[in-house]
DNA sequence: CTTGAAAAGAGCGGCCA
DNA sequence: TGGCCGCTCTTTTCAAG
């Protein structure tokens, strides 16, 4: 992955609706090799997919909550079913297994407190958890899907 | 925004490379009205933009860190410059002002511990902060940009 | 990698119901 | 609104330098 690939990725991460002609021009290539690079990046999975980003506020999903979870039971099969259950909750945008004091970390997006309460009840009713801490966002200062890329390999 | 718009948004959130013809078929419309709905959704800002999602692991950005920040100084101008400084750090993917014990919450993506250490030093050297807690992710179980939409208005 | 070009396909817009 | 039917532009492939 050379500097040109990084340029292409950076531009496509910011706007994937750009035409190949314009993209090629911005990275100082003609269409054909530019197109081939994109194909390669897609085939290798570096570009996972192209998606439309929806404004959460405009569709009534204005409440973001970070949820820290501590668990008791740590058996392998329990963890697996826990992971699957949480993954399937549509309000969960991100779900990480953590190192340290917190076992899991979620970012949850809902319409309002009432909706979060519903989510919370579903979460704790279905699964026995040692501790669940909810932290509520007042303001989204920055949210991006653009990774800062550096040359490698 | 009716049920058809929601279908369109859901499909485009999952895959924006789909053609209008195929999309129209999936929502039981012909191309023109389907296309017009997409235009309307884009003009109104409900669809913010179309982007390419890059696999962080494949570009050597395998370390995700959640950073909780408590601040001392709460003067308006200080907060503004803090927000701007943090927003401009490319490692910061998400940045929220919070309610409660934690003042700010970041999700930071870097290549490894050394890179995180560099980020951390830049953060605390530049700005006086009361408390900064870093929590490290071991495993990304789920990460999506797809909002779960419900009918409204 | 470049240019050029051509076939296939998709986006876009008018017009009618 | 939604649907039919073109026109236009892009994407995609190919050949040759």
**A143 lies in a domain?**
no
Whole-angstrom distance, CA of residue B117 vs CA of residue A11? 28
Who contacts B134 (Cβ-Cβ below 8 Å, separation ≥6)? B65, B66, B67, B116, B120
Instruction: Supply the range of the domain harboring residue A37.
Output: 3-43
**A16 lies in a domain?**
yes
What pLDDT, in 10s, does the model give residues B48-100?
999 999 999 999 999 999 999 999 877 888 889 999 999 999 999 999 999 99
Over residues B97-121, the mean pLDDT reads 97
- pTM, rounded to two decimals: 0.95
Which of B38, B52, B144, B148 has the most A C-beta neighbours within 10 Å, making it the best mutation to test the interface with A?
Answer: B52
Residues B108, B131, single domain; the answer is: yes
What pLDDT, in 10s, does the model give residues A81-114?
999 999 999 999 999 999 999 999 999 999 999 9
Answer whether residue A146 shows pLDDT above 90: yes
Residues A30, A83, single domain; the answer is: no
Residues B68, B122, single domain; the answer is: yes
Who contacts B78 (Cβ-Cβ below 8 Å, separation ≥6)? none
Residues A74, A132, single domain; the answer is: yes
Residues B33, B63, single domain; the answer is: no
Q: Domain holding B26: CATH number? A: 1.10.10.10
Residues A33, A64, single domain; the answer is: no
What pLDDT, in 10s, does the model give residues A106-133?
999 999 999 999 999 999 999 889 999 9
Work out the minimum CA distance from B145 to partner chain A, whole angstroms. Answer: 7
Listed in order, strand segments (DSSP E) in chain A are 47-54, 63-70, 92-98, 104-110, 131-143
**B152 lies in a domain?**
no
Please tell me the predicted confidence (pLDDT) of residue B29: 95
Q: Among all strands, which nt has the closest C1' to A22 (CA)? A: D10
Backbone angles phi, psi at B11, to 5 degrees: -65, -40
Please tell me the predicted confidence (pLDDT) of residue A153: 57
Q: Among all strands, which nt has the closest C1' to B31 (CA)? A: D3
Helix (H, G, I), strand (E, B) or coil at B26: helix
Please tell me the predicted confidence (pLDDT) of residue B153: 56
B28 dihedral zone (left: phi>0; alpha: psi -120 to 50; beta): left
Query: Does B48 sit within 8 Å of A53, measured CB to CB?
Result: yes
Sign of torsion, CA B74 B76 B77 B79? positive
Answer whether residue B21 shows pLDDT above 90: yes
Query: Does B51 sit within 8 Å of A145, measured CB to CB?
Result: yes
**B141 lies in a domain?**
no
**How many structural domains are present in chain A?**
2
Q: Domain holding B91: CATH number? A: 3.30.70.920
């Amino acid at each position: 992955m050379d500097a040109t690939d990084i340029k292409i990725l950076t531009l496509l991460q910011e706007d994937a609706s750009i035409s190949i002609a314009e993209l090629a021009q911005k990275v100082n290539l003609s269409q054909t090799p530019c197109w081939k690079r994109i194909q390669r990046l897609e085939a290798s999975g570096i570009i996972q997919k192209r998606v439309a980003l929806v404004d959460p506020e405009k569709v009534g999903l204005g409440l973001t909550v970070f949820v820290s979870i501590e668990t008791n039971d740590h058996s392998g099969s329990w963890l697996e079913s826990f992971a699957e259950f949480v993954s399937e909750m549509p309000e969960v945008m991100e779900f990480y297994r953590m190192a340290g004091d917190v076992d899991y970390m979620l970012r949850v997006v809902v319409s309002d407190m009432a909706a979060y309460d519903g989510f919370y009840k579903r979460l704790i009713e279905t699964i026995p958890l040692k501790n669940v801490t909810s932290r509520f966002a007042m303001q989204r200062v920055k949210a991006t899907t653009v990774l800062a890329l550096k040359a490698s390999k």
